[in-house]
Structure 1
Amino acid sequence: MKYTLCFLKKDDEVLMLLRAKEPNKGKWNGVGGKIEHEETPVENCKREVLEETGLQLKNQIFKGMIALNGIECIYVFASNDFEGNILPSDEGILEWKKLDWILSSKGVVENIPFFIEDVIDFTIEPKVYDCSYSDSGELTEIQVKLFQPL
């Protein structure tokens, strides 16, 4: 399966979602979701951000991919170019969080601190974040490589 994940940046804060549903229920994450049939990652990113936040992306930047145990693929985007007002979400609670909080909080999805600084820095090239997990779901390793399109 393929998914998107988007991090919205406003000044020195990032919009985070305290997930009400699995996966990562009870953890803070970016917004995104499963790519539907015949939907591109960019189309999915725009749709998911609008559905989950009420914000309309005017522009999003591809920041790379997250591989989970080499199987699932998450296309990662970031944006500081959006409009609208945040609306309540069925997916969870939305809050603007400072980067320091994201990097130090135990409530954040555990792989995010390894890549969030690169993702919200619009001058850094896209990368692949290959995350390995144990059978019990513990993050065991992250390998970072430059994204190389086919």
Structure 2
Amino acid sequence: MNEAMGEVKRMLKYNIAFICKGDRILMLNRSKAPLLGLWNGVGGKLEPGETPYASVVREIREETGLRLAEEALRFSGIVTWEVDGREAGGMYVFIGEAPPEALAEAPVETEDGILAWKALEWVIHPDNHGVAGHVKHFLPPMLESRDCAEYRCTFQEGKLLNCEVRPLEEVVL
């Protein structure tokens, strides 16, 4: 496991992965709440006793069928959120690199929604309201840098007000 995949001292309940293949990103159009009908990365809840890394590997396998090599997946930081003035949660974010042959038949419908390769420009376009709103704020810097940070998102009445970048707590290996 690379050194950036250590465990953050504060345990969060969720993980998410953005898997890249060239200039495209594997996105899931969710068929279930939360974020029903929106495109997002793949991921889910950590199970009791599961590390963030083990959890994201399991979620990727369950939602996509992909088994990424350990060196093809890196911890990129965390995203936390506040909703209507209350602490509401957070997730570990991982960036992965898929082999060229991965999901060549996509788009494909799965139990969790539709998986498809989307161009990064499409995913982060300011007028794209079909992608989870906070993704366009944290994904570009996470793709461009190996520096980990916390992206603190504040939502009010369902709308993203801001996404503040904060230093990440110490990562324990």
TM over 0.5: yes
List alignment gaps of at least 5 residues for structure 2. 1-11
Partner letter of residue 103 of structure 1?
I
Would the aligned equivalents of 2:81 and 2:88 in 1 still touch at CA under 8 Å? yes
- Alpha carbons 2:150, 2:165 under 8 Å: kept: yes
Query: Aligned pair 1:8/2:13, yes or no?
Result: no
One-letter code of the match for 1:68?
W
Which protein has greater RCO, CA pairs closer than 8 Å, 6+ apart? Answer: 2
The code of the aligned residue for 1:145 comes to R
1:7-43 deviation per Cα after TM superposition (whole angstroms, max 9, x unaligned):
0011001000000001100000000001010111000
What residue number does 2:161 align with?
Answer: 140
Q: Return the match for 1:118 from 110, 130, 141.
A: 141
Q: Number of residues paired by the alignment?
A: 148
Question: Which residue type is aligned with residue 80 of structure 1?
Answer: E
Asked whether the equivalents of residues 16 and 92 of structure 2 are also in contact (C-alpha less than 8 Å), the reply is yes
Unaligned 5+ segments in structure 1 are none
The correspondence for 2:66, drawn from 47, 55, 68, is: 55
Match of 2:119 in 1: 98
Distance in 1, matches of 2:142 and 2:55, equals: 18
- One-letter amino acid of the counterpart of residue 72, structure 1: G
Normalising by structure 1, report the TM-score. Answer: 0.91
Q: Displacement of 1:119 after TM fit?
A: 2.0
Contact 1:132-1:141 within 8 A present in 2 as well:
yes
Aligned to 2:28: 17
Q: Identity percentage over the alignment?
A: 34
Greater C-alpha Rg: 2
**RMSD of aligned Cα (Å):** 1.8
Could you tell me whether the CA contact under 8 Å between 1:8 and 1:15 is conserved in 2? Answer: yes
Point out 4+ residue stretches in structure 1 off by more than 6 angstroms.
Answer: none
Compute the displacement of 1:129 (Å): 0.5
Mapping of 1:13-92 within 5 angstroms?
Answer: 13-59=24-70, 60-69=73-82, 70-81=87-98, 85-86=102-103, 88-92=109-113
| Counterpart amino acid of residue 14 in structure 1 | I
